[in-house]
Amino acid sequence: MGVKAFLVAFFLSTLLFPLAFSTSNDGLVRIGLKKIKYDQNNRLAARLESKEAEALRASIRKYNFRGDLGVSEDTDIVALKNYMDAQYFGEIGVGTPPQKFTVIFDTGSSNLWVPSAKCYFSVPCLFHSKYKSSQSSTYKKNGTSAAIHYGTGAISGFFSQDNVKVGDLVVKNQEFIEATREPSVTFLVAKFDGILGLGFREISVGNAVPVWYNMVKQGLVKEPVFSFWLNRNKEEEKGGEIVFGGVDPKHFRGKHTYVPVTQKGYWQVGYLYILGKLLLRLFATAFLFLEYNWQFDMGDVLIDGQATGYCDGGCSAIADSGTSLLAGPTTVITMINHAIGASGVVSQQCKTVVQQYGQTIMDMLLTEANPKKICSQVGLCTFDGTRGVSMGIESVVDEKAGKSAGLHDAMCSACEMAVVWMQNQLRQNQTQDRILNYVNELCERLPSPMGQSAVDCGKLSGMPSVSFTIGGKKFDLAPEEYILKVGEGRAAQCISGFIALDIPPPRGPLWILGDVFMGRYHTVFDSGKLRVGFAEAA
């Protein structure tokens, strides 16, 4: 499939809300979360559109490079960023006395890092709080070099050790990274100073013991459990709450549905194209490492109560507090965006496959051919024993210039998507003509470059629910929960909360359930029993 590279910008301004820490006689530690809202009316947007837009394209990736950049209230610097309802972050203290930093609490990573006072040559450090080891009586030198790689470069620096205050808890002798270099554009306008990873040690850079591990080891929490409540009500100031040591019954209804964690470490994706603007690394072909924690098995996805059938054989999912939207395989995301009337970009390869091979694929399905082998049997893929893979097919597109462009993965992937779409319609006893028309429509609805799709704000009431099967239970999202509205009145724009991300077997298909999902469902991360739980948020 081809790399999609199209930048649609929304401009950010911040609303700073009070931060609250609290403990109570129930033994729980509560961390209040701040919330950043979007405002697309900033005058600096045009200045960033040229030089910095290209850098931003490369910087939008997993750890808030999912598009959650904020700005300092007193600098009026605003970046062109992607579609987001809100960014959630909280405050911690490092050292004695505590030096304050705002951080993203990220279940998709495992290290703690903050800017260092020794960051001399990186401009973003001028705009953020910096850790000064000389001002802490509990500082212990380490000095081992460290780097966390991102799309635009790396956060680099060195390890240090000091006490870290989270709410009223003081984690002693915590290893963390003092960042002495930060990618310029990404962190120049970021409201947060650093990141506090809540993932497993298996993906911790330098094998540093994560903050959460030390909380448990030092007996600072009642139970090895933490939970997220993300407030999606834009009218309320409180952005949400993380509870360390248990759950707050005020923030959920009913009982949690728990599923076991199936993946704790990172894994190499390999040589593939990565789609999506909010979550992903580079808009180019690369060897990448994607770091995933809190991964579990998920069942099928339903649109308006109708099963898509894509995850009949099982899909994987992760609950990720550092991702704002909800990402999944292009095949299903396209079906969802078609159902909700989202506007995408025409994929010529997809339409070509339907035109040239659509009837043949349908005939083979009707004769009960093995769906996984169909695309190899029509000559668009090879078959590796479990699925189709690209044959490296080429098509001459400019005979005069003597050039050819490889369709490669695009044709193979388009064929595999068409097979799934046709299967879905055949289950519903649709006519062959209707099925071919439907598949062509889906080609039109393929996600916009870099993943976004827009919808008509006036048609939310007529949109279907989208449901995810977890632990044998359906978790529904209503239109007002999966559509992000940016702006007010005539200037308002509505964005689909679903974006495309394709991870091949055996690690995929993979879904990333970010804030769109976690805002609807209170989420419990139980490291003692290695499970994740979801219940309706209250």
* Tens digits of residue pLDDT in 202-231: 889 999 999 999 999 999 998 999 999 988
Work out the end-to-end distance of the chain between its first and last CA atoms, rounded to an integer number of angstroms.
Answer: 41
What does the alpha-carbon distance between residue 401 and residue 119 come to, in Å, rounded to a whole number? Answer: 51
Q: Quick one: pLDDT at residue 134?
A: 97
3-state secondary structure of 255: strand
The pLDDT of residue 79 is above 50: no
pLDDT, tens digit, for every residue of 166-186?
988 999 999 999 999 987 566
| Distances in whole angstroms, Cα of residue 254 to Cα of each of 229, 231, 299, 514, 535 | 15, 18, 21, 22, 7
Omega cis (within 30) before 509:
yes
What does the alpha-carbon distance between residue 65 and residue 195 come to, in Å, rounded to a whole number? Answer: 12
Q: Which one-letter DSSP state was computed for residue 208?
A: P
Centroid of chain to Cα 398: 38
Structure tokens at 255: 């009982």
The pLDDT of residue 304 is above 70: yes
Residue whose entry in the numeric block shows the structure tokens 């062959």: 432
What torsion do the CA atoms of 74, 78, 84, 86 make, to the nearest 10 degrees? 0
Helix residue ranges per DSSP H, 218-305: none
Residue whose entry in the numeric block shows the structure tokens 């509870």: 243
Centroid of chain to Cα 213: 24
Structure tokens at 477: 């999202």
Lowest mean pLDDT among 159-168, 340-349, 469-478: 340-349
Would you say 53 and 9 are in contact if contact means Cβ atoms under 8 Å apart?
Answer: yes
Range(s) within the chain of domains with CATH label 1.10.225: 348-386+406-443
The pLDDT of residue 432 is above 80: yes
Q: What is the CATH number of domain 254-268+286-330+453-537?
A: 2.40.70.10
Angle between helices 432-444 and 408-427 (to 10 degrees): 140
452 pLDDT band, cuts 50/70/90, is low
What does the alpha-carbon distance between residue 173 and residue 95 come to, in Å, rounded to a whole number? Answer: 10
Residue whose entry in the numeric block shows the structure tokens 């529904």: 476
pLDDT, tens digit, for every residue of 345-384?
556 678 888 998 999 999 999 999 999 899 989 888 877 6
The pLDDT of residue 81 is above 90: no
Reference 490, options 37, 8, 15, 40; nearest CA is 40
Q: Quick one: pLDDT at residue 331?
A: 92
Q: Quick one: pLDDT at residue 39?
A: 39
Residues of the chain with pLDDT > 90, as a percent, come to 44
Supply angle C-alpha 137, 141, 145, rounded to 5: 140
The fold of the 348-386+406-443 domain, in CATH, is: NK-Lysin (1.10.225)
- pLDDT higher for 160 or 233? 160
Count of H-run helices and E-run strands, the chain: 11, 34
pLDDT, tens digit, for every residue of 506-526?
777 889 998 899 999 999 999
Cβ-based neighbour number of residue 369 at 10 Å: 14
Q: Quick one: pLDDT at residue 56?
A: 32
Of these ranges, 46-60, 207-221, 320-334, the one predicted with the greatest mean pLDDT is: 207-221
Per DSSP, the residues of 29-68 read EEEEEEEE-B----TTHHHHHTHHHHHHHHH-SSSSTTT-
- pLDDT higher for 57 or 336? 336
Catalytic residues: 106, 320
pLDDT, tens digit, for every residue of 120-176?
988 888 889 999 999 999 999 999 999 987 544 578 999 999 999 998 899 999 999
- pLDDT higher for 233 or 159? 159
Lowest mean pLDDT among 58-62, 101-105, 416-420: 58-62
Structure tokens at 303: 């649109």
What backbone torsions phi and psi does residue 126 show, to the nearest 5 degrees? -70, -20
Q: Quick one: pLDDT at residue 493?
A: 78
Reference 445, options 341, 312, 319; nearest CA is 341
Q: Which helix (H) or strand (E) holds 83?
A: none
Cβ-based neighbour number of residue 498 at 10 Å: 27
The pLDDT of residue 538 is above 70: yes
Of these ranges, 106-110, 133-137, 241-245, 394-398, the one predicted with the greatest mean pLDDT is: 133-137
* Mean of the per-residue pLDDT values of the chain: 75
The pLDDT of residue 109 is above 80: yes
Q: Quick one: pLDDT at residue 518?
A: 94
| Distances in whole angstroms, Cα of residue 459 to Cα of each of 328, 448, 453, 479 | 23, 20, 15, 9
Mean pLDDT of 445-451: 66
Q: Quick one: pLDDT at residue 184?
A: 59
Range(s) within the chain of domains with CATH label 2.40.70.10: 35-52+76-220, 254-268+286-330+453-537
| Distances in whole angstroms, Cα of residue 499 to Cα of each of 24, 253, 306, 316 | 40, 28, 20, 16
What CATH superfamily classification does 35-52+76-220 receive? Answer: Acid Proteases (2.40.70.10)
What does the alpha-carbon distance between residue 214 and residue 172 come to, in Å, rounded to a whole number? Answer: 8
What does the alpha-carbon distance between residue 504 and residue 311 come to, in Å, rounded to a whole number? Answer: 13
Q: Quick one: pLDDT at residue 20?
A: 42
Q: Quick one: pLDDT at residue 274?
A: 26
Phi-psi group of 327: left, alpha or beta (phi > 0 → left; psi -120 to 50 → alpha; rest → beta):
beta
What does the alpha-carbon distance between residue 104 and residue 87 come to, in Å, rounded to a whole number? Answer: 9
